[in-house]
Amino acid sequence: MVEIKPFKGTRPFNEDAKNLIAPSTDHLSIENIEIFRKNNYWNYLKVLNPVGQLKETDTLLEAKLHFNEMKENEVIKKDVKDHFYVYQIEFKGHIQTGFLSLAKIADFINEKIKAHEKIYENRMRERAEQMLNIKSQIGPIYVFYENNKEISKLLNSIIQQIPDYDFESFDNSIHKLWCISDEKFIQNLTSLFSKSINNFYIADGHHRMGAMKLIGDLKFNKNIHQENFMIAAFSSDEAKIFDYNRVVKDLNGLSEENFLQLISKSFTVVKKDKSFKPNKNKEFGMYHENKWYSLHFKEKLDTNNFVDTLDINILNNFIFKKYLNIQDVNNDERIRFIAGCHGLEALEKKVDENKDSVAFSIFPSHISDVIKVADNKLTMPPKSTWFDPKPLDGLVVYEFGK
C-alpha cells in the first residue's frame, strides 16, 4: 500500500494566487509568458527559471533571492499546522477532485509509485539542481490512483464548504483549494490509502520524480536528508487524457503521390472533405498540402508485445521510421508535438506555414493503457499522453526538511 502524509505547505498569503502561479509554455507562447512575468512581479516564474539557464550562477542566485523576498514580504506564508489540501480543477466542462499531500520517495524506489515514461538523466539532474537551489518543490508531481468510492466520498464531504482559494487561471481553468488541518479528516484519508490503495501512477512530472529520487540520495546531496515529495493525486476515473498530435517538417524527399502509395501498404487511406479527428484506436488523421485524410491501420500485430500495439508506436514504426527516417522520436528536430487541447486548427496552421510538412492527429491513450504499461515496467514513447487539466505550480509549495 502507498503512504500519504499531511504537511505544512507554503501558499499565497498577501497576494492573489492567480498572480503567483506559474503559467506553462503548454498553454501560452514564450512571448506571452514573458508578458505575464513582467506584469506579475511576485510570480514564481522568477524562481522557476528556464532549465537551460540553470547552470548560470547568477540565474540560480536570482531565483533564490526572489523566493526569499516572497517569504520576507509575506507574499507567501508557511502553514503552522500539517494539512491535506483538497484540490478541485474545472476545465471545459470537466471537473476532477483530488488532494495535495506528501508521498515517500521510497515508494517510488520500491515501485509502488509507477512511471510510464522514460526518465532522462540530464533533465532529471537539471530539475534536481533547480529544486535544491531553493530547497523546495514548487510544483507537485501529478499522480492518479485507481477509483475508490470511499475516498471520493470523503473528498466530496469537503468541497461542500467554502474554499480557501477560488480563481480562474491563465488557461481559463477554475481552481479551488480547501486547506484541511482537521485531525479526523487527516486520519481518515491516511487510513483509506494505507488500507486500500496499492499504487500511484505518475501522470505528469516524471523528471521531477527522478529529481526527487536524486535529492533523496545522500550520495547526490549530503546537506539534507529528504524522504518525501509533494504530489497532486486524483482518481483514475477523473484524470483526463487528450490526444498528443505530431507535425513532421518534410516528407523525407518523397513526393506526395509516392508517400501516399507507400503508407497505403499498411493503412487504408481515404481523402476527407474536412478535418479528421480519430474516433477509435488504430485510426489516424493526416493533413498535408491543404488536404485531410483518414488512415486506418490494417496490418495484424503480435498482441503479446503490448507497447508495439499502441497507436503512437504504430505511427512511429509504420510511418515515421519506415518512410520519414525519424529513428529517434524524442530528439529528431524534424518532429513537433502539439497537445490536443489546441485543436486540429493548430495542426493545420503549423503545416500551412511550412511547405512539405505533414501532421497526424491521434486517438488519445486510455488510462488503462497507462496502467498496463506501468504495471509491466514498460515505457510509452515520448509525448504519448497529454493529461489536462494539470495541477498548478506555485499554489502550494513544499519546503524541504521543515
Residues pairing with 29 in the sheet: none
Q: How far apart are the first and last CA of the chain?
A: 25
Query: How many Å apart are CA 254 and CA 350, to the nearest integer?
Result: 20
Residue 221 has pLDDT above 70, yes or no: no
Task: Quickly state the pLDDT bin for 249 (edges 50, 70, 90).
Answer: very high
What residue spans define the domains of the chain? 4-240+387-399, 244-363
The domain made up of 244-363 has a fold known as: 3.30.1760
Residue whose C-alpha cell reads 491513450 in the numeric block: 365
At 54 the pLDDT is 43
Residue 183 has pLDDT above 80, yes or no: yes
114-143: per-residue pLDDT in tens?
Answer: 999 888 888 889 889 889 989 999 999 999
The arithmetic mean of pLDDT across residues 108-119, rounded, is 93
Least confident piece of the model among 74-88, 328-342, 344-358: 328-342
The arithmetic mean of pLDDT across residues 306-324, rounded, is 93
CA neighbor of 141 nearest in space, from 113, 163, 161: 113
At 267 the pLDDT is 97
At 50 the pLDDT is 47
Residues of the chain above pLDDT 90, percent: 70
At 269 the pLDDT is 96
Strands 291-297 and 267-272: antiparallel
The whole-model pTM stands at 0.90
Query: How many Å apart are CA 402 and CA 381, to the nearest integer?
Result: 37
**Which residue pairs, CB below 8 angstroms and at least 24 apart, start in 162-165?**
163/88, 165/11, 165/12, 165/17, 165/395
Average pLDDT over all residues of the chain = 90
The arithmetic mean of pLDDT across residues 91-119, rounded, is 94
Residue 397 has pLDDT above 90, yes or no: yes
Contact predicate 366/237, CB 8 Å: no
Query: How many Å apart are CA 116 and CA 385, to the nearest integer?
Result: 10
Grid coordinates given for 248 = 513532421
